[in-house]
Structure 1
Amino acid sequence: MSNGDVDVIVAGGGAAGLIAAGRLAEAKPDLSILVIEAGANSRDNPAVVNPALYPSHVQPTSTTAKFYKSKPNEYLGGREVVVPIGNILGGGSSINFMVYTRASAVDYDDWNTQGWTGKDMLPFLKKTERFQDNDLEVDKSLHGYNGPLSVSAGGTFVQAPFQKAFFNACEQIGIKKVADLQDLKTANAVARWNMWIDGQTGFRQDVPHNFIFPILDAGNTQLKVITDSTVVRVLFDENKRATGVEYVPTRSDPSTKPTVVRAKQLVVIAANALGSPQILQRSGIGNKSKLEALNIPVVSDVKGVGTNYQDHHGVFYAYYSKATPEETLDGLLRGRLPFEAAMAQKLSSPGRHMLGWNGLDCTGKLRPTEEEVKEFPPALLEAWNNDFRDRETRPLMIFGTAALSLAQRDPPPQGQYFTMAAYTAYPYSRGSIHITGKSVTDIPEFDSGYFNHPADLMKQVWAYKKQREMARRIPYYNGPDRFTHPTFPPGSKADPDVVDAASKAKGYPVPIEYSEADIEAIEKFICEKLNTTWHSLGTCAMKPREQGGVVDKDLNVYGVERLKVIDLSICPGNVAANTYSTALAVGEKAASIIAKDLGIPYTV
């Protein structure tokens, strides 16, 4: 079955793929572009457009995410980590936490790829943004003000008293507050966490609603988007030129006959860091021995496909909060405040309502003090000395606060919470994903790789101590939710009840003493609770082929023609940030590369 010809096919309708498709449609309206998305259409989905409902997308019952279960991880006690990926038009942009976090410029520099330095990427980071933060201390030259996606200082609600309390707590332990933590260089401070939420409407700033749907509705381009359709493989001619793709309905059985659509100029894969390598492998691009074992004809032997998997694995620590029910999202998300009541509040007070808020008001990118470094175990000390000590724009860990319980406990006891999140900025651990058959219904072999490098666990131990020092100095602190914290051995001086009682008696936060047994308890807890932060990348890395690379600097797949990969899978190294900003910048950069290849006039 054939579905006709188009100029460009984009396999995957996530953030990067849609940005690139939309930009090309704007630049050349008569260029026929087909985007094929496995997930459902996101248009007017209340759980998408209303920011406060974002936790619903990563619940086990979610239909807007696809859940990948890793093989048992020996470093996590045999746990099978589950990693969700966007499974809806817009991909992660439609279901993410909407926090505005940028990488350090040095992160892009470290990719060691011509045209992809921090200086090169800044115009693309700015191109998507409509920055609404009016803080006079922010360097306006670093942000964009005419892009399609708004970045606000808090949506339509903010827990301002908590913000102030958090910054004061950080100041007490020597952590400074800055106006802009996303200036591509600051790496040891805390700040207000800006949001991909429009400050006037309170709507999520996903790519479909704020960029693609307006283009489609205008009807003056040849851009077309189909949903609920999964790309099986890329087709090639005898010269190894990509000529089209096969796709099937997402909810189909292995016997379903695929639809073929031809691409006259280019095929682009943008199916996320777990989906894109699978498409390549089903197409005959990957490790030759693995493909031959599955009787898949080898088109190009590219051994790096599906390797180099990385994620910002993290831990979420919940604390009971002295906040009122009107100050956190716990009531809305646990059903005590019905959605209908929240909608009524939104309609009656459109400029100030909780549905236009994600509850994530504070963030930090932090480095250890010299005294803390002295306590580092050998593996972490070596990592620090090699990769961080003399590179002051690289944080060791990223921190965030949430005005709700985000910890792995469902449901938590009724009440109000705040959560401290800690996730590694640059994981040393690596994983992989490889197909196990030719069909899209065959479950891939996924190895999360979490903690297969010892320094990653050691970083988390330091982060546990750091977040605890911040949390217990916040006036909202009302003790930890013990289920979401380590269980210390009997008689431990680090037990929260012991520390809190002593602090109350003294009238100030007393120092916490950790024994070797306490550290072991922290490590055990972290290994039991370590989770994804939904930041998968790296599996189709942009680096030399002989170094495990899959694409070159122009995103061309090695060994074939007219085929590119343009999503977070191309990142050869990690970024010290939530990955939405990077995904958008990759999409913007890809659009400029493709436009040049196709001879389309294009300006950044």
Structure 2
Amino acid sequence: MSNISNNPAQFPDEVDIIVAGGGSAGCTLAGRLAAADPSLSILVVEAGLNNKDVPNVIHPAMYLTHLLPGAQMTTFHQANKSEKLNGREPIVPIGGGLGGSGSINFMMYTRSQAVDYDDWNTEGWTGKDLLPLFRKMETFHNDDPAVDKSLHGYEGPFHVSSGGYVSKDFQDDSIRAAAETGLKEVPDANNFTEANGIQKWLKWIHPKTGRRQDAAHAILHPIVESNRTGLQVLTEHKVVKVITSNGRATGIECTPNTSIQTTAPATGAPATPRVFKARKYVVVSAGALGSPCILERSGIGSKSVLEKARVPVVSEIPGVGSNYMDHNLFLLGYKSIIKEEECFDAFLDGRRSFEAEIDAFSKPGSLNHIAWSSLDTAAKIRPNEAELASAPESFKKLWKRDYESRPERPLMVAVFAPIHFGDHSDLPKAQYMTGAVFLSYPYGRGHIHVTGPSADDKLDFESGFLSNDWDLDALVIGYKRQREVIRRMESFAGGAESVITGPKFREGSKGSKWDYPTANGAMIEYDEEDDEAIKNFLRDNIATTWHSCGTCAMKPLKDGGVVDGRLNVHGIEGLKVADLSIMPSNVAGNTYSTALLIGEKAATILAEELGIQNF
């Protein structure tokens, strides 16, 4: 009998620990505990499919297939219409299978700043406290002598490297162009303090196998397949709610995920709920868009939300589902003159075959494109004096309060890549490039709440994108900065005619001109109409980074918190939350490393409470 199955009849009615969700944090904490104590019976319940050796999961170059309609490993959430987004209803995709978003993300190795964790203001969660866990998780492949090796790990299950292929000429070009704008190259922008430098970026890709480093393949599958474990995984089942009795979590109720089930029930047959009991703990780990909904369907949340959703109140915790955060992202596409071999677009327009590249991997002469994501250059950026001087007074006020005396806080992350992420069907087969920017710490906040007791009821999801005007002003700075880099790049084909996606400036304005910069390094000047054109473009195009977090915040109950520093849900014994939803405030970078970190920390906490020695 397999330890991973979509058939609930194969699993016992009662186990020691139930993990509701098999994403990055859930796989990490379950795998770590199972390895430390094989006698523990642990059941992971995952709504999506088993990701084991699925080609478009393990092969990095196939990552964009997860954004296509009908993608099997992706769940698409549609947020409410927003006037701040010119009436759009933004779509937020999240991982929909084992490994969670770590199975489908863009694989950028981005650590946050140490001060980000200090700002969580919770005992045991400072940057200094967490550094050993960051080291524990990774095997870092970078032999640059300027890198501080004490900040990285070299024996962990998750490999970090340049991947199988690097667009070296493009990399060098973007770094040179950035230097002309005053942005220096640094050996390690992920050293927990660097906030204003550009780097040849690393990825969560194994340097020898060329495989993606998701938590299911790195930790969970090896343990499950060892046959020396009490770890089991039920896939294709949604956790409806946590069952509580006398203030304690005693189990869960789950139901088949009929939208994806590979073994469907008889036609017309209703999905049959199944209850599993937990002797020791229930850990909710369904992500920032899933965990608060499980709690609310369990009767844990805001009284007004629960009553409206017809869910009896078990414990009133008003903060459940609030404080939703994401990094606001925009992408600018440009025509490029780089060589075809350095361009990822060949995968997207049919010139390069995934199947052929998989077959060619590691063979003599292969460029190993299948182990590539194109995201080879990125930067953490703070605005320069000129950018600050021209910013609105409202922007300067919050900058002075939250950034000026804190040089470790970047305003944004920028990415330069030889790819166009948009639709290629109406474009000629050619080479393209992207300048992308997302804010490190947006002030906009949203929420997600249930509207009924069923796991299939529509969700009330407010993205919060651009709900604070400061975020829009900051993104205008981001647009101008990436443009100054792009127009200095020799890879850029040049001229306004080579801009594929971008603001629509009025004819004849200074913002409409795309001349190569003068020898004295002159910057483009913009007037108020230009700025409004940039803002309108941003309202039309701001999107998710897939970095959803914050909806079960780790704060005191009186401050809107949902869990305490040991991840216990306030007032409910035996119930913890462990995923990105616990983040009380945002972090400056892609959130995958933080998701893994939360899984490691949760495992450490549970091991202590269970009395597991030498964890």
- The question of a shared fold, defined as TM-score above 0.5 by the shorter chain, is answered with yes
Q: How does 1:79-158 map to 2 (within 5 A)?
A: 79-152=88-161, 154-158=162-166
CA shift, 1:254, in A, is 10
The corresponding residue for 2:252 is 245
Deviations 1:559-598 (A, max 9, x none): 2110000000000000001001000011000001011111
**Letter of the 1:426 counterpart:** Y
Q: How does 1:192-591 map to 2 (within 5 A)?
A: 192-237=200-245, 239-251=246-258, 255-346=270-361, 348-349=363-364, 352-407=367-422, 412-479=427-494, 481-495=498-512, 498-500=513-515, 503=516, 510-591=522-603
Contact 2:331 2:435 in 1 (8 A): yes
Using the TM superposition, name which of 54-63 and 248-257 deviates more: 248-257
- Aligned partners of 2:43, 2:525: CA distance in 1, in Å? 60
Deviations 1:401-426 (A, max 9, x none): 22211247765442111111100000
Contact 2:308 2:451 in 1 (8 A): no
SS in 1 for 2:390: coil
- Aligned partners of 1:340, 1:111: CA distance in 2, in Å? 45
The corresponding residue for 1:600 is 612
Change (3 A) 1:298 1:349: farther
Contact 1:317 1:407 in 2 (8 A): no
CA shift, 1:202, in A, is 0.8
SS in 1 for 2:99: coil
- Aligned partners of 1:499, 1:263: CA distance in 2, in Å? 63
The alignment status of 1:178 with 2:186, answered yes or no, reads yes
Contact 1:270 1:566 in 2 (8 A): yes
SS in 2 for 1:230: strand
Contact 2:138 2:160 in 1 (8 A): yes
CA shift, 1:257, in A, is 2.5
Contact 2:25 2:598 in 1 (8 A): yes
Using the TM superposition, name which of 321-330 and 571-580 deviates more: 321-330
The alignment status of 1:52 with 2:67, answered yes or no, reads no
CA shift, 1:335, in A, is 1.9
Structure 2 portions without partners, runs of 5+: 1-7, 260-267
Using the TM superposition, name which of 33-42 and 370-379 deviates more: 370-379
The alignment status of 1:64 with 2:79, answered yes or no, reads no
**Letter of the 2:306 counterpart:** L
The corresponding residue for 2:264 is none
**Letter of the 1:167 counterpart:** I
- Aligned partners of 2:115, 2:426: CA distance in 1, in Å? 41
SS in 1 for 2:612: coil
Contact 2:243 2:250 in 1 (8 A): yes
- Aligned partners of 1:602, 1:441: CA distance in 2, in Å? 43
Using the TM superposition, name which of 326-335 and 430-439 deviates more: 326-335
SS in 1 for 2:567: coil
**Letter of the 2:188 counterpart:** D
SS in 2 for 1:171: helix
CA shift, 1:233, in A, is 0.4
SS in 2 for 1:365: strand
Deviations 1:339-372 (A, max 9, x none): 2222232152497410001111111000011221
- Aligned partners of 1:444, 1:602: CA distance in 2, in Å? 43
CA shift, 1:255, in A, is 4.3
**Letter of the 2:445 counterpart:** R
- Aligned partners of 1:378, 1:199: CA distance in 2, in Å? 47
- Aligned partners of 1:145, 1:352: CA distance in 2, in Å? 26
- Aligned partners of 1:533, 1:355: CA distance in 2, in Å? 23
SS in 1 for 2:435: strand
SS in 2 for 1:274: coil
Deviations 1:193-234 (A, max 9, x none): 111001111111111112211111111010001111110000
RMSD across aligned positions (CA): 1.7
TM-score between the two structures when normalised by the length of structure 1: 0.96
Change (3 A) 1:191 1:388: same
The alignment status of 1:27 with 2:39, answered yes or no, reads no
**Letter of the 2:413 counterpart:** I
Contact 2:258 2:271 in 1 (8 A): no
- Aligned partners of 2:63, 2:332: CA distance in 1, in Å? 19
**Letter of the 1:67 counterpart:** F
- Aligned partners of 2:316, 2:614: CA distance in 1, in Å? 34
- Aligned partners of 2:76, 2:29: CA distance in 1, in Å? 26
Contact 1:72 1:78 in 2 (8 A): yes
**Letter of the 1:141 counterpart:** S
Change (3 A) 1:410 1:97: farther
Deviations 1:98-157 (A, max 9, x none): 1100010000000000100000111111111011111111100000111001001x1110
Deviations 1:427-471 (A, max 9, x none): 100000000111111110100011110000001100000000011
SS in 1 for 2:166: coil
CA shift, 1:337, in A, is 1.5
Change (3 A) 1:181 1:413: same
Using the TM superposition, name which of 486-495 and 346-355 deviates more: 346-355
Contact 1:109 1:116 in 2 (8 A): yes
Using the TM superposition, name which of 191-200 and 562-571 deviates more: 191-200
- Aligned partners of 1:133, 1:483: CA distance in 2, in Å? 35
- Aligned partners of 2:46, 2:606: CA distance in 1, in Å? 20
- Aligned partners of 1:351, 1:26: CA distance in 2, in Å? 37
Contact 1:408 1:529 in 2 (8 A): no
Contact 1:499 1:510 in 2 (8 A): no
Contact 2:335 2:499 in 1 (8 A): no
The corresponding residue for 1:188 is 196
SS in 2 for 1:398: strand
TM-score between the two structures when normalised by the length of structure 2: 0.94
Using the TM superposition, name which of 30-39 and 414-423 deviates more: 414-423
Deviations 1:483-541 (A, max 9, x none): 4101101221221xx332xx38x677653121111111111011101111110000000
2:23 to 14, 39, 64: 14
- Aligned partners of 2:96, 2:582: CA distance in 1, in Å? 19
Identity of aligned residues (%): 47
